[in-house]
Structure 1
Amino acid sequence: MMRMTVLASGSKGNSTVISSSRTRVLVDAGLSCRELLRRMALAGEDPSTLDAILITHEHQDHIAGLGVLARRLRIPVFFTEPTHRAWVRMLTPRTTMSYAKWLDHVQREKEARAQSVASTPAHDPAVEAASIAHISAEAAALDATLNPTAVIAVDEDAEDPDAALCDPETPQAARQKADPTHLPAVEYFHAGANFCIGDIAITPFTIPHDAADPCGFVFESEGIRMALATDLGYMPPNVKAALKRIDVLLLESNHDLEMLKDGPYPWSVKQRVLSRVGHLSNHATAEFLQKDYDGTAAWIVLGHLSESNNAPELARLAAEQALANHPTLLGNRILLADQATPLEPICL
């Protein structure tokens, strides 16, 4: 038997448990540790039986509770190496300064140099070397100020006020607090290369999304195949090929095109969502189901629905209309994954 339990799906957090009779894997940890444990309890999933955490990509709605949960459960985390490196960079504090502070810093440096030059004979090599060093320091400060990747710092306790529930105060936990990137164990995989966790065979495939190395997955055990494909801007050939002969399919249906265009997001965000590294619309998902889907899934779960730019009824209607054009596919059952509550487990 295999089981898929969607704990949460949406822009505020994503997490799904994939289980065989002997192995349990948590795919993404996009909620706080406390909330993930609460969702698992609601869904009848025992967190102590999890064997690993598997990460699709490093965006916050997929990794928010990762470090705390992995340390709490003392289980390995599976990433691609670029995704792991991106996650570490996100959690590594960098010093920066505002533009006003930088201007003040430059002015003070100029005044100090002027005083130094006034009190030192002309053409003193030491003064010239010091001047060059000051200019280099100013350039580095400006670079740090303008580099958006240099200002990301995450306080796990601030994000999860109940972190103590998940990270008991022990000498080890205290050491880990100083290093939020610490994990009990890390395993790397590569898109396109099969690997196993316990008795679950996993095929990761590259997806088009604006992350370091985003992946979707096909899980297979005991003759059952389940797939997870969300956070993709369009359906490239490799994804279409990966989603063949699937028994349970979790597929993105993020937004309604008209709701997104008329919605509250800034134009820059709308462009990002609509881009080829953004998210699938209801229309794009329906087009895949109508033209490229092979019809083998007993269940299709529509996930990552936008709360601002979609309505569950619209996502369901688009998918049902796509399947209605193929009478042989009408046996496919459609479910909608929710942001606020876990779905009932799907067992095959």
Structure 2
Amino acid sequence: MMRMTVLASGSKGNSTVISSSRTRVLVDAGLSCRELLRRMALAGEDPATLDAILITHEHIDHVAGLAVLARRLGIPVYITEPTHRAWGRMVTPRTTMTYAKWLDHVQQEKEARAAAVAQGNLEIAAEAAPDSNADNLCEPETPIVKSNPSHLPAVEYFHSGTSFCIGDLDITPFTIPHDAADPCGFVFSAEGIRMAVATDLGYMPPNVKAALKRIDVLLLESNHDLEMLRDGPYPWSVKQRVLSRVGHLSNHATAEFLSTDYDGGAAYIVLGHLSESNNAPELARIAAEQALVNHPTLLGNRVLLAMQSNPLDPIML
């Protein structure tokens, strides 16, 4: 048996549990650790049984609770190396000293040396002399080292296009077109069942269409209604990003894929990453169902909606 439980899907946070009979992984951790644990409890998923966390890309709605959850559960994180580097830069606080603070730092050193010389203590004066290494001047005067925000219990790198295994789960990552360092989707296989997660993609390139063949449960993006986005509250620059080929799939683009390139193999199609500002659940559902109606052989597909506010009931095959 395999199971998919979508804990949250949308611009405020994304996370999905994929399980076989012996292995359980979390795809993305886009909510706080506390909220992820709460959602898992609501959905009947035991966090203590998670074997790993997999990350699609480094945007905050996919990694917000990553470090805290991984450290709390003591489980490895599977991630591509470019995504790991991008995430590390994002969560590590900058320590560069401002120019004003540097001037203050230099003035304090001068005053300390002058006081030492006036007291005849040349040893202290020498210690107070500026370091010849200019890089040291960019360090804070009193660096405060708390916990390393990018520390993870264990990191395993994978490469898109190269399959790997976690327990009895066979996992095939595939590249997706999105404005991130190295974004990917996943196909999970176990016990003759195949499940796929494909969100955050600006369009459907041939490699994604090929990856989504013979899938039994498909979590697919249906982010926005084109008219709602164009008339909506987003700044024009954000609208351009969403509409670009590294943005998000519209209801129309998802329906076009379902009507022309989808092979009809899934028992369930879960529409995810719905925008709360630029979409309506029923618009996404109607567009997908109309696309399937045009192909009588696809009428057995059940269309579900993954929401931002609550977990979806587990899908079991």
TM-score (norm 2): 0.86
TM superposition shift of 1:75? 0.3
Give the aligned partner of residue 238 of structure 2: 269
Give the aligned partner of residue 284 of structure 2: 315
Cα separation, partners in 2 of 1:318 and 1:97, compared to 1, 3 Å: farther
Please point out which of 281, 306, 330 is paired with 2:250.
Answer: 281
Give the aligned partner of residue 90 of structure 2: 90
Give the aligned partner of residue 75 of structure 1: 75
Please point out which of 321, 327, 330 is paired with 2:296.
Answer: 327
TM superposition shift of 1:190? 0.2
TM superposition shift of 1:96? 5.1
Give the aligned partner of residue 66 of structure 1: 66
Give the aligned partner of residue 12 of structure 1: 12
Matched, 1:179 2:139: no
Give the aligned partner of residue 205 of structure 1: 174
Letter in 2 for 1:299: Y
Between the two proteins, what is the percent identity of the paired residues? 84
Structure 1 distance, partners of 2:227, 2:266, is 29
Higher helix proportion (structure 1 or 2)? 1
Structure 1 distance, partners of 2:211, 2:288, is 20
TM-score (norm 1): 0.78
Structure 1 distance, partners of 2:255, 2:285, is 10
Structure 2 distance, partners of 1:22, 1:59, is 30
Give the aligned partner of residue 38 of structure 1: 38
Structure 2 distance, partners of 1:314, 1:334, is 12
Give CA deviations for 1:101-133 in whole Å, capped at 9, x if unaligned.
67x97xx99xxxxxxxxxxxxxxxxxxxxxxx9
Give CA deviations for 1:72-106 in whole Å, capped at 9, x if unaligned.
000000000001111111111114578xx67x97x
Structure 2 distance, partners of 1:285, 1:315, is 9
Give CA deviations for 1:157-176 in whole Å, capped at 9, x if unaligned.
xxxxxxxxxxxxxxxxxx9x
Structure 1 distance, partners of 2:225, 2:155, is 38
- 1:1-348 map, 5 Å: 1-95=1-95, 177-348=146-317
Give CA deviations for 1:300-348 in whole Å, capped at 9, x if unaligned.
0000000000000100010011001001111100000010000000000
Aligned residue pair count = 284
Structure 2 distance, partners of 1:93, 1:17, is 30
Structure 1 distance, partners of 2:230, 2:268, is 30
Q: Give 5+ residue unaligned stretches, structure 2.
A: 108-131, 139-144
3-state SS of paired residue (1:239): helix
3-state SS of paired residue (1:6): strand
Cα separation, partners in 2 of 1:97 and 1:287, compared to 1, 3 Å: farther
3-state SS of paired residue (1:11): coil
Give CA deviations for 1:129-183 in whole Å, capped at 9, x if unaligned.
xxxx9xx99xxx9xxxxxxxxxxxxxxxxxxxxxxxxxxxxxxxxx9x5201111
TM superposition shift of 1:280? 0.3
Structure 2 distance, partners of 1:97, 1:287, is 52
Structure 2 distance, partners of 1:287, 1:194, is 28
3-state SS of paired residue (1:178): coil
Cα separation, partners in 2 of 1:323 and 1:182, compared to 1, 3 Å: same
Give the aligned partner of residue 128 of structure 2: none
Give the aligned partner of residue 152 of structure 1: none
Structure 1 distance, partners of 2:91, 2:313, is 33
Q: Which runs of 4+ in 1 moved over 4 A?
A: none
Structure 1 distance, partners of 2:226, 2:207, is 25
Give the RMSD, CA atoms, in angstroms: 2.2
